[in-house]
């Protein structure tokens, strides 16, 4: 009987291994079919909604919601096609002649080479429309092609290193005397015949009279609107995802484990001496409150037995309350770890959103006036490194220590307040001197005048 069971078990294992081996041998054909199907879906969207043309994200044919829908589908299909092509190349590299012979014995028929080449050519034709253009939802990067090279050669896999994002160097001037340094331009050389304000007015009129300027303005507005939506959505995700992770982990992951551990063992009620002192003060106030109420209503004094009963009930209530607070502090430690992991994961998978957010804040900051910049700088410095900032840091550190159930060490708090704001103020002054003074010197001058 056992021999039959062993034979049945060995047959199942053999059939499972055979199925897995067949799946492994069919990997190139399966990957190519999935990439080909993704290219077909992209072509179907182009024929159906864009008259056979490329899916243009900046097109004004549809509303913003519809274009976001097409953009999401396009990115997903392009990702599938590229991943499956990579899988196709890798699987063909691992499969040798022996594997192909084994596939023929197993009854697996590969596609003909001509059909494989046709599919690869079709996939490349569809994907090549979207490989040379940068992602317009984030930022438009300038790609400069090297001279004397055709456009198609730049997009090939072997020449990706030729894509340069910096402008090419100017050609060398022949017959130049290297011993003589070029003369610096004087102010008279840079001055034009007409004032710059008149020239800028003329150029603005040219833009306004241009019949294509309206379309450019609409596209620019749509780019700005899309950047704002992406930035606000990403900021909300950075706030909501860690908070939700903290609450979910505390309620469903960490909470049951901590409650089970503390219920099975006799754990101490108070995590630190401050909790115990707080409970004693609360119990003492309760006793004084009972005596005060008894004196107000002019009732006979409470008997020692009654007073002891009331004090025992209050002590049990306080013990349960501080036991729950201690458990919550332990839960907060582990739940905060989950929140930090979720926050870091969100930053790692959202690099494009981070670049859009940086561009969004740059436009907001540079769009402010000099007085507004100086106001924000003074507000920031007064809150974190100003005269009244130690009180805020003290409240913040005490809240964090209570959140984690740690005793508020006064020496550590005072040492932190004496060092960290000073370091922060030094870094901030260095930033003003090194960067802001070079980017916006007028804002620095306004800041100094307002600060004085």
* pLDDT, tens digit (0-9, with 9 covering 90-100), for 68-108: 788 888 888 988 988 888 888 877 776 655 555 555 555 55
Residue 240 has pLDDT above 90, yes or no: yes
Give mean pLDDT, residues 317-330. 86
> Tokens at residue 182, please?
């070029």
Give mean pLDDT, residues 31-54. 87
Q: Could you tell me the pTM of the whole model?
A: 0.52
Q: Please check whether residue 252 is in contact with residue 386, taking contact to mean a CB–CB distance below 8 angstroms.
A: no
Residue 170 has pLDDT above 50, yes or no: no
Q: Please check whether residue 416 is in contact with residue 393, taking contact to mean a CB–CB distance below 8 angstroms.
A: yes
Distance CA 377, CA 449 (A): 13
Residue 232 has pLDDT above 90, yes or no: yes
> Tokens at residue 33, please?
């079919």
HEC sequence for 125-167: HHHHHHHCCCCCCCCCCCCECCCCCCHHHHCCCCCHHHCECCC
Q: Please check whether residue 357 is in contact with residue 140, taking contact to mean a CB–CB distance below 8 angstroms.
A: no
The 10s digit of each residue's pLDDT in 334-365 is 999 999 999 999 999 888 889 889 988 888 88
Distance CA 274, CA 405 (A): 10
Give mean pLDDT, residues 27-35. 84
Distance CA 41, CA 183 (A): 61
pLDDT at res. 344? 94
Confidence of residue 194 (pLDDT cuts 50, 70, 90): low
The 10s digit of each residue's pLDDT in 47-56 is 888 888 888 8
Question: Any idea what the Cα angle at residue 410 is, between residues 405 and 412, rounded to 5°?
Answer: 85
pLDDT averaged over every residue in the chain: 76
Among 29-33, 49-53, 301-305, 435-439, the minimum mean pLDDT is found in: 301-305
Helix (H, G, I), strand (E, B) or coil at 442: helix
pLDDT at res. 18? 67
The 10s digit of each residue's pLDDT in 425-441 is 899 888 888 888 887 88
Residue 144 has pLDDT above 60, yes or no: no
Distance CA 88, CA 92 (A): 6
pLDDT at res. 135? 42
Residue 159 has pLDDT above 90, yes or no: no
pLDDT at res. 131? 76
Q: Please check whether residue 54 is in contact with residue 130, taking contact to mean a CB–CB distance below 8 angstroms.
A: yes
Confidence of residue 152 (pLDDT cuts 50, 70, 90): very low
- Measured CA to CA in angstroms, residue 149 lies from 41, 159, 167 at distances of 32, 11, 16
Question: Any idea what the Cα angle at residue 24 is, between residues 19 and 30, rounded to 5°?
Answer: 105
> Tokens at residue 339, please?
């929140």
Helices 27-49 and 113-131 meet at what angle, rounded to 10?
50
Among 209-218, 376-385, 388-397, the minimum mean pLDDT is found in: 209-218
pLDDT at res. 238? 93
* More confident site: 24 or 358: 358
pLDDT at res. 401? 87
Q: Please check whether residue 42 is in contact with residue 123, taking contact to mean a CB–CB distance below 8 angstroms.
A: no
Q: Please check whether residue 49 is in contact with residue 70, taking contact to mean a CB–CB distance below 8 angstroms.
A: yes
């Amino acid at each position: 009987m056992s021999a039959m069971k062993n034979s049945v078990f060995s047959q199942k294992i053999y059939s499972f291994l055979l199925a897995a081996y067949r799946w492994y041998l069919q990997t190139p054909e399966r990957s190519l079919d999935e990439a080909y199907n993704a290219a077909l879906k992209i072509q179907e969207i182009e024929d159906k909604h864009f008259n056979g043309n490329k899916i243009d994200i900046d097109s004004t044919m549809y509303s913003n919601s519809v274009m976001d829908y097409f953009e999401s589908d396009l990115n997903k299909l392009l990702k599938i096609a590229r991943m499956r092509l990579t899988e196709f190349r890798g699987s063909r590299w691992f499969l040798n002649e022996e594997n192909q012979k084994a596939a023929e014995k197993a009854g697996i028929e590969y596609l003909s080479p001509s059909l494989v080449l046709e599919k690869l050519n079709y996939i490349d034709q569809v994907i090549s429309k979207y490989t040379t253009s940068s992602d317009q939802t984030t930022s438009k990067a300038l790609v400069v092609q090297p001279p004397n090279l055709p456009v198609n050669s730049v997009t090939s896999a072997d020449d990706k290193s030729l894509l340069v994002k910096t402008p090419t160097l100017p050609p060398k001037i022949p017959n130049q005397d290297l011993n003589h340094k070029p003369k610096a331009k004087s102010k008279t050389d840079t001055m034009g015949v007409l004032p710059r304000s008149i020239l800028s007015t003329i150029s603005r009129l040219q833009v306004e009279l241009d019949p294509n300027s309206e379309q450019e303005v609409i596209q620019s507005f749509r780019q700005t609107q899309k950047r704002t939506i992406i930035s606000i959505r990403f900021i909300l995700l950075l706030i909501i995802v860690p908070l939700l992770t903290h609450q979910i982990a505390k309620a469903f992951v960490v909470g049951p484990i901590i409650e089970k551990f503390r219920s099975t063992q006799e754990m101490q009620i108070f995590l630190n001496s401050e909790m115990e002192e707080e409970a004693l003060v609360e119990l003492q106030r309760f006793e004084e409150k009972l005596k005060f109420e008894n004196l107000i209503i002019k009732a006979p004094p409470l008997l020692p037995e009654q007073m002891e009963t009331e004090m025992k009930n209050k002590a049990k209530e306080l013990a349960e309350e501080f036991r729950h607070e201690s458990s919550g502090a332990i839960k907060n430690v582990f739940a905060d770890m989950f929140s930090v992991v979720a926050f870091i994961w969100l930053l790692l998978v959202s690099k494009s959103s981070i670049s859009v957010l940086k561009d969004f804040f740059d436009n907001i900051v540079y769009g402010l006036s000099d007085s507004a910049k100086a106001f924000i700088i003074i507000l920031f410095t007064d809150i974190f490194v100003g005269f009244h900032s130690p009180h805020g840091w003290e409240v913040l550190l005490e809240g964090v220590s209570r959140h984690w159930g740690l005793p508020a060490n006064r020496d550590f708090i005072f040492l932190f307040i004496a060092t960290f704001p000073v370091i922060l103020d030094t870094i901030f002054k260095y930033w003003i001197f090194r960067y802001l003074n070079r980017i916006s010197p007028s804002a620095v001058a306004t800041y100094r005048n307002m600060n004085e």
